[in-house]
Structure 1
């Protein structure tokens, strides 16, 4: 009769589970990248990010510098000549709209990605603890999650930022701490299912700590269900950042953001419509590219992750 080495079992099962989570995530990315929709969205996104990062620097134009003699110049496609210094026109103070829109995109992306990163850390941590330990820990953390869900995010953001100075860290903190419950619930459901599996028991028998089990065995399995949520949330956070800027609770002038540029331009919609329109066009293209990638990832996840479980 063959002799079974328990040490090999307790090591092999956790390693196989860890590889399974990473493998599923890679398969989702590969399946999504095979779609032309994902590649189109990725191409648009990369072009916009590269332009936002490098064009203001390469042009040497200060987005906050006033030039009243060049105010309200029209974009090249409706003007009588090409303006190399301001191809998308200037605003009411003579500031270049292309540079201001790209700098606004830079801040919008920074806030969007930073907010989603905070949401992931907070939500996945709470969901992991709740699902793994269960009992009173689960009860307390889920009631906290329910309480957070009962508070509309935009109301909380307006309340907090209305009584404090709306800096970039403050905006990220408010948006991030008001939007984590979705990640907590998704993580909890995955962990509650996986903690009953044999590989978790094998890891416990082999002496692995709870922290090691959560970080190296369960965390990779959380990535597939939350990956498309996080991509779509980047677009959602960019919209909320623009809304806050439009009502005066975002990043404050003279720093250009989509929200405050559009808010300034609404006074000139009749004779200088490009002031409010150009930031909206950049925002529209960015959100379209992110949504294309997120929707493709969601379809790939539904095909692969569902079958893998």
Structure 2
């Protein structure tokens, strides 16, 4: 989470607000340009796009209902295994005849939606509170930081059990829980760098020229600090997808019959000896998705470190 500090270290203070913004955009473009030129980024992006398109289109185009039972097709193996496979179900079926490929892709769609939305919520809350605390300081900073410390003292799994255990674990509820569990990390980072930036010459020049506090925050500080956090948050999407799958496995995620990675794997663990593909196929999709996202995040991290080291 030192991406913001590192990026700011590359940008010397400027008296001109416009020049400061241009420097920030230049750093962001350099990081983005170097990251997108790496092989790891291209492989990760290609995998993410293929998986996202498959999850968005195949379940609809195939015409297969991911929750409809077909006991005549139960426990069919994948195409590459056994002698009872069917072209209609290339990755096999589960214990009540539901297609594993469609269910895995619908689970991927749900998991990816929850991961991206929860990280977006985390960024929104954390950046807003951290910026306000760092810019105004004093009593505002004290109140925000005490709330942050209180939130950090609650483990994510405990918060999930407390909220989802007493309410219906719908997709919005899970996004809310995951978003609320991680915002203090972003808030603390934003607070520290905003406190360092608020005394620079370009901020003082804007204050002297009569710019209001909201204008300074939204037009000067946020454009300067947000891009490095966006690069870092890519890895958080993978982490949120893992946690969403964990909740589903524990029965605290999206409830059946809606397929998710967690509840499919939880159902399939009973059939590992005679129908291992029920739990394995969604696990492979999850691993492939996480690997591709981590390749993209690692490319941003290497680009940031390279630019910082060469500065």
Normalising by structure 1, we get a TM-score of 0.93
Aligned to 2:182: 179
Checking the alignment, whether the CA contact within 8 Å between 2:251 and 2:263 is kept in structure 1 is: yes
Distance, in Å, in 2 between the alignment partners of 1:292 and 1:17 is 31
Deviations 1:207-235 (A, max 9, x none): 11111111111011212431232101100
Higher mean Cα deviation, 76-85 or 121-130?
76-85
Checking the alignment, whether the CA contact within 8 Å between 2:77 and 2:84 is kept in structure 1 is: no
Aligned to 2:137: 134
* Secondary structure of the structure 2 residue equivalent to 1:179: helix
* Secondary structure of the structure 1 residue equivalent to 2:274: coil
Checking the alignment, whether the CA contact within 8 Å between 1:86 and 1:97 is kept in structure 2 is: yes
The match for 1:101 among 92, 100, 104 is: 104
Distance, in Å, in 1 between the alignment partners of 2:300 and 2:189 is 16
The match for 2:31 among 13, 16, 28 is: 28
Distance, in Å, in 1 between the alignment partners of 2:29 and 2:253 is 37
Higher mean Cα deviation, 276-285 or 184-193?
184-193
Checking the alignment, whether the CA contact within 8 Å between 1:104 and 1:256 is kept in structure 2 is: yes
Aligned to 2:261: 258
Aligned to 1:208: 211
Distance, in Å, in 2 between the alignment partners of 1:231 and 1:108 is 15
The match for 1:271 among 249, 259, 274 is: 274
Matched, 1:167 2:167: no
* Secondary structure of the structure 2 residue equivalent to 1:297: helix
Shift of 1:28: 1.0
Higher mean Cα deviation, 84-93 or 184-193?
184-193
* Secondary structure of the structure 1 residue equivalent to 2:182: coil
The match for 2:233 among 212, 226, 230 is: 230
Matched, 1:287 2:297: no
Shift of 1:303: 2.9
Aligned pair count? Answer: 298
Higher mean Cα deviation, 140-149 or 224-233?
224-233
Checking the alignment, whether the CA contact within 8 Å between 2:266 and 2:279 is kept in structure 1 is: yes
Matched, 1:60 2:98: no
Matched, 1:298 2:292: no
Distance, in Å, in 2 between the alignment partners of 1:27 and 1:290 is 20
Checking the alignment, whether the CA contact within 8 Å between 2:76 and 2:85 is kept in structure 1 is: no
Matched, 1:248 2:272: no
CA RMSD of aligned residues (A): 1.5
Distance, in Å, in 1 between the alignment partners of 2:183 and 2:114 is 15
* Structure 1, unaligned runs of 5 or more: 1-10
